[in-house]
Amino acid sequence: MFEKVLVANRGEIALRVVRACQELGVAGVAVYSDADETALHVRHADEAIRIGPPPAGKSYLNVDALIEAAKETDAEAVHPGYGFLAENAAFAAACRDAGLVFIGPSAEAIEKMGNKSAARRLAGEAEVPVVPGSDDASSANEAAETAGGIGYPIMVKAAAGGGGRGIRVAEDEEGLRKAVQVARREAEAAFGDGTLYLEKLLVTPRHVEVQIMGDHEGNVIHLYERECSMQRRRQKILEEAPSPGISPKVREEMTEAAVRLAREAGYANAGTVEFLVEGDEFYFIEMNTRIQVEHPVTEMLTGVDLVKEQIRIAAGEPLSLKQEDVPMVGHAMEFRINAEDPDQDFMPSPGEVSFLEVPGGPGVRVDSA
């Protein structure tokens, strides 16, 4: 086991990882920009180190500063949390090259599964169903030809996308050509990669994702699914487990498909395989190569501490449980508390919080910082 882990993030997930480290007897090192010097994750960590000024590009997205911080504090491993550099293959590779253990999948697995069009191809090789579409739609002419064969409405999506960005819906060829231009610009601005692909738009699907965990001995298990269909602007606002909208048969087939895909990718550590579900049919859409915001839902359902499991696996330990040992007890729901203005179409509305009363009681968990 490690003696010291640097947490390359801030806020709620940084605090979550620091606590997991401490419960394992591992020292947790926090990083902070000038704006976060007194943040909760900094105050609870065993050690803290400044990494730069407030702009994320000069601090939490600054690979060189994070690597230097890990070396300066004698950390042996780096946990990226979620967001920022968590799904950045170059960061995972930089950690490895610096002699640090990246607590997550390998750079190669992130590269393989992080590109959504490449992940679609791999899913096909693993015999996992995918939504009808194309792997490359960067040319408007090629996209129009492909869409003509698939049928409208159709979605134009960024291959390197995430968080609902770089996605447009087209109802006809004219709309498709505009959508390709807009989505490409948005993808280049947000992800530095304008590669696009197409997917047939399913009219009334459910969004269901499967939590998987793999170790470095080739073992992969699933920890059931999470229902994530309630979204606003393609951003999840409520998650629950198990899903109330799928049959036991679909659950069994879909979780088996998620494990099969992870094995095909040579995947180790925590990951989430996302599907769209219509009736008894399910289709792979993407894989998130990190711990999820909604991981507490799975933890409440199964009693498995996913962050501790991540750390153990990265330290070279095998999975602590087998598939038949993963329990499903009760039902869990997660509600994301966002600062929004309901009178302005729930647009973001940041400001000072003057009063906050945190709920409590049996079965209630609040993750915040």
How many independent structural domains does the chain possess? 3
- Are both 10 and 35 inside the same structural domain? yes
**365 is written with which tokens?**
């968990």
- Are both 214 and 335 inside the same structural domain? yes
Range of the domain at 194: 132-200
CA–CA dist 311, 78 (Å, integer) = 10
Distances (CA, A) of 9 to 313, 339, 354: 20, 21, 26
pLDDT reported for residue 100: 99
pLDDT reported for residue 126: 97
Strands (E), 54-162: 77-79, 101-102, 133-134, 154-158
Residue 324 is classified by DSSP as G
Local confidence pLDDT in tens for the 369 residues of the chain: 999 999 999 999 999 999 999 999 999 999 999 999 999 999 999 999 999 999 999 999 999 999 999 999 999 999 999 999 999 999 999 999 999 999 999 999 999 998 888 899 999 999 999 988 887 787 899 899 989 988 999 999 998 877 778 899 999 999 999 999 999 999 888 888 889 999 999 988 999 999 999 999 999 999 999 999 999 988 899 999 999 999 999 999 999 999 999 999 999 999 999 999 999 999 999 999 999 999 999 999 999 999 999 999 999 999 999 999 999 999 999 999 999 999 999 999 999 999 999 999 999 999 998
- Are both 35 and 79 inside the same structural domain? yes
Q: Write the CB contacts of 177 (distance below 8 Å, at least 6 apart in sequence).
A: 140, 143, 144
pLDDT reported for residue 203: 85
Instruction: Indicate which CATH number applies to the domain containing 276.
Output: 3.30.470.20
- Are both 196 and 211 inside the same structural domain? no
- Are both 217 and 195 inside the same structural domain? no
- Are both 327 and 299 inside the same structural domain? yes
- Are both 258 and 328 inside the same structural domain? yes
**Domain C-terminal end among 200, 231, 259:** 200
- Are both 174 and 210 inside the same structural domain? no
CA–CA dist 105, 109 (Å, integer) = 6
Whether 363 maps to a domain, the answer reads: no
Whether 23 maps to a domain, the answer reads: yes
Whether 256 maps to a domain, the answer reads: yes
pLDDT reported for residue 165: 81
Whether 125 maps to a domain, the answer reads: no
- Are both 157 and 216 inside the same structural domain? no
- Comparing CA positions, the residue from 116, 124, 77 lying closest to residue 99 is 77
pLDDT reported for residue 190: 84
**266 is written with which tokens?**
């040579």
- Are both 219 and 289 inside the same structural domain? yes
- Are both 140 and 225 inside the same structural domain? no
Distances (CA, A) of 198 to 118, 138, 141, 203, 276: 13, 9, 13, 15, 15
Catalytic residue among 290, 312, 336, 365: 290
**5 is written with which tokens?**
């882990």
Greatest C-alpha distance within the chain:
60
Whether 271 maps to a domain, the answer reads: yes
Coil, strand or helix at 247: coil
In this structure, are residues 289 and 261 in contact, taking their beta carbons and an 8 Å threshold? no
96 belongs to the catalytic site? no
Q: What is the pTM of this model?
A: 0.89
